[in-house]
Structure formats: structure tokens, C-alpha cells
Amino acid sequence: MYYGRPDRNCECPYKAVLQVSDPTGSLSVVLWNSVCVDWYRCLKPGDIISLRRYRVKRHYQVELEDIELSVNSRNPAALISVLSPSCVSPEHLPPEPTYSFYSSKDLSERAHSEVCDVIGLLTFTGRSERVRTDGRGADLLEYRWLRLEDGSSDQPIMVKLFSTSQPETHLRLHPLSVVVCTRLKLIRSSEQFYLTNTTFTQVYCTGLGQHSQMSYRKLDQVRLFLRWLKGQEDGQVLSRALIGGFFMFPPPPISLETFMTQRRGELGFLQGAELHRELDRLSYRERRCFCIQATVVMVTYSCRGEILLLFSSPSLLS
């Protein structure tokens, strides 16, 4: 997280929050400033760390009895090291991670907000977009849509993936990659659903040697997917693979009547001047939806970048 402000003089205004545990319980560790820069991309889930010279503080904006460890480069200067499992006694070794993999067929029967893991062949990678944390706040969160196929049904797995602590992995999310997303939350609306991040979401992708190091590769659900994958032809998968473009959930209404029902009769159309004002307020890659009522004066038909027909025909768009 970047917390820099124009009125503050801080060389490295960053912080990262880790969740650590031992046999007695778990708590949050906050890496501040240069410690965050030095260690953020070095640590991964499952690492065994030694942590010395930290401060114990009350957890920010949580119940008073909760605490967190504050780790900084001074006052005092923290000491962090990653330990080999062979250097740790067996009773202090962390347990093997557990997974709950569901196929696209299984997900259709899961409940709203259920946490799950998925594996699939990536066939769509959307453009990076940003939304404000509370609709109108100053903080922006970046995400992109992913479409995964696993062969268990005709319904793809749609993932609204926000940034995680794995920037290198996010850069390798291209069609035809095998992607594993862990600790996702299912969001259901009517009969449609998608998956999105939780605090503990991690992403693993082919091309980085990650899958071979993970214990999930031995699970039945993963092996079933790999058998399906071996029967796929690259040409057929490439024919339906997409990069960029636009996707939104839930889908836009198909009629004015449906739209009015969803809005409970409050259409909220913007006039031309209002629309220009709202557009001027948008930040880089920020995504927002606007409702307008206007007259169509031009329609352009195109196919794969080639313009086929262009004509003008006034009509009322509602």
C-alpha cells in the first residue's frame, strides 16, 4: 500500500501487512517504509521467518484487545531472516496448506461468499481497470477480468482479480496459461456468479515454475483438469482466446423496462454538460458507469478492425 501525501516528507511511503502464525495463534505484521520495499517481494506464503526487534501495537481500527507487530528500519531497526525448514524443530513447522478446489460445474451449486480455489486454462485476459474503494473515495483499486475453462461444463469461470503481492505473476497472465487462484470468494447475483479476491488470495501461473513446487498438484481435482487439458488442441483454444476488450458483471439490461426495474424507477440520466463534467473527473484507467439519453446520429459497422459500412440515421436511444 502506498500512503504518500504531498505534505509529508517520507522517502519510502509504503506499507505491507502480513499474516503470521505459530502453534499458539496468528497475528498481523506490518512492514513499514524501506523494510516493506526490501522484503515485500521476497516473502511468500509458507515461508518460515525469524523476526526480531519489533514493536507491539494495538491493531489499527480493530478491537482494542487485538495487537499487531510493527516492523520498521529504525526505532528499533528490525531484523528479518528466512529460515530453512531443516533449521526448525518439527513441532514449530507450519502445517501443509489445505485447498478446496471446485470445478465450474461445482461452483454453480456453491453458496454466496463461499471461499474456494480454482484451476483452469486462461482464455480471456481483460484490460486493467480501476475503481474507487467506496464509490467516491480517493483510493483506487486495480483489477482485471479473467476467464478460465476447465472442461467440466460449458460455463466458464469468471474471476475479478485485484492486485496481489505477486506482480511478476500478474504480468504472465496470458491466454493458454494454466492458472490457479486460491482463497477466492464467490459472488452470486441471481443465477450468475463470479469469483474475486479475499485477503489471502494467491495466483500461480505457468511459465514461472510455480505449479511444480505446490502441493495442490497431487489433488484429484487438479489431476482431472490436467487430463482434460491434454486433450485440447492449441488451435481451437487460440480461436476463442482474447486479450483486452471489455467485460462487466452483472451484464447490462437488455431493455428499458428491465433497466427501470433495476433502478426502481429512478433513471438518473446525465445531460451532456453533466457527462463532460464527470468524465473530466476520471482518473487513469478508472471505470464508472453512466446513464445517458441521446439521439443516435451515426452508426459504424466494423469487423476485425475493417470498417464495412458507415451511415447516418437519427433515432431515439433510451
Q: How many CB atoms lie within 10 A of CB 192?
A: 13
pLDDT at 133 over 90: no
Domain extent listing, the chain: 15-92, 104-243, 256-317
CA-atom Rg of the chain in angstroms: 24
- 3 state DSSP class of 309: strand
- The correct CATH number of 15-92 out of 2.40.50.140, 3.90.1150.10, 2.30.30.90, 3.20.20.70 is 2.40.50.140
Residue 2 is predicted with a pLDDT of: 63
**Higher-pLDDT residue of 222, 305:** 222
Three cell numbers written together for 296: 443516435
- Give the mean model confidence (pLDDT) for residues 124-149: 86
The CATH class given to the 104-243 domain equals: mainly beta
Most confident listed range (15-19, 98-102, 139-143): 98-102
Length of the chain: 318
Residue 170 is predicted with a pLDDT of: 92
The reply to whether 104-243 shares the fold of 15-92 is: yes
Segment (H or E) for 315: strand 315-317
Residue 65 is predicted with a pLDDT of: 56
pLDDT tens, residue by residue, 304-318? 655 454 444 443 333
pLDDT at 263 over 90: no
- 3 state DSSP class of 87: helix
Confidence of residue 258 (pLDDT cuts 50, 70, 90): confident
Nearest Cα to Cα of residue 71 among 29, 126, 109, 131: 29
Three cell numbers written together for 293: 439519453
Residue 5 is predicted with a pLDDT of: 63
d(CA 290, CA 278): 9
d(CA 180, CA 183): 10
Residue 315 is predicted with a pLDDT of: 39
Residue 139 is predicted with a pLDDT of: 78
Q: How many CB atoms lie within 10 A of CB 233?
A: 8
